[in-house]
């Protein structure tokens, strides 16, 4: 059974940082795509950052480039999203995602089969 579990959300003030962590278990593949999505009630969800477990190029949403960094620890099957200089517009429920289907370019603009329950990030002014 595939499990995707996030941790690390919280409430911060603008300009501060948070780190989200995600553990993926049960996927019987050496490589797969992992990433982070976010969603605000009433708005479409958006892909924040995605990468292959094996590494390589990374996809970032334009609005988070230079502020967010995705990384992975394959030994622990974890993926981390370091979020710096957080802004109120980053407030959302953040979801970790995983999918075994590999495509040539890293992107969040695709379907993901496995989703975590989400962790809330709230940024105040």
**SS3 of 41, please?**
coil
State the pLDDT confidence band at 33, using cuts at 50, 70 and 90.
Answer: very high
Shortest CA distance to 86 belongs to which of 37, 19, 39?
19
Q: What is the mean pLDDT of residues 84-88?
A: 98
Strands 46-52 and 58-60: antiparallel
What backbone torsions phi and psi does residue 62 show, to the nearest 5 degrees?
Answer: -55, -40
- Report the mean per-residue pLDDT for the chain: 96
Span 97-120, pLDDT tens digits: 999 999 878 899 999 999 999 999
Give the pLDDT of residue 94. Answer: 98
Give the pLDDT of residue 106. Answer: 81
Give the pLDDT of residue 60. Answer: 98
Span 55-80, pLDDT tens digits: 999 999 999 999 999 999 999 999 99
Shortest CA distance to 119 belongs to which of 87, 85, 83, 74?
83
């Amino acid at each position: 059974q595939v499990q995707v579990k996030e941790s690390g959300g919280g409430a911060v003030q603008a300009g501060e940082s948070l780190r989200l962590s995600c553990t993926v278990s049960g996927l019987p593949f050496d490589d797969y795509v992992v990433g982070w999505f976010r969603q605000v009630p009433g708005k479409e969800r958006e892909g924040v950052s995605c990468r292959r477990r094996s590494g390589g190029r990374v996809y970032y949403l334009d609005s988070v480039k230079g502020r967010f960094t995705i990384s992975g620890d394959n030994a622990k099957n974890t993926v981390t999203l370091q979020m710096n200089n957080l802004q109120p517009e980053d407030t959302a429920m953040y979801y970790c995602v995983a999918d075994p289907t590999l495509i040539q370019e890293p992107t969040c603009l695709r379907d993901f089969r496995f989703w975590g329950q989400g962790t809330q990030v709230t940024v105040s002014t």
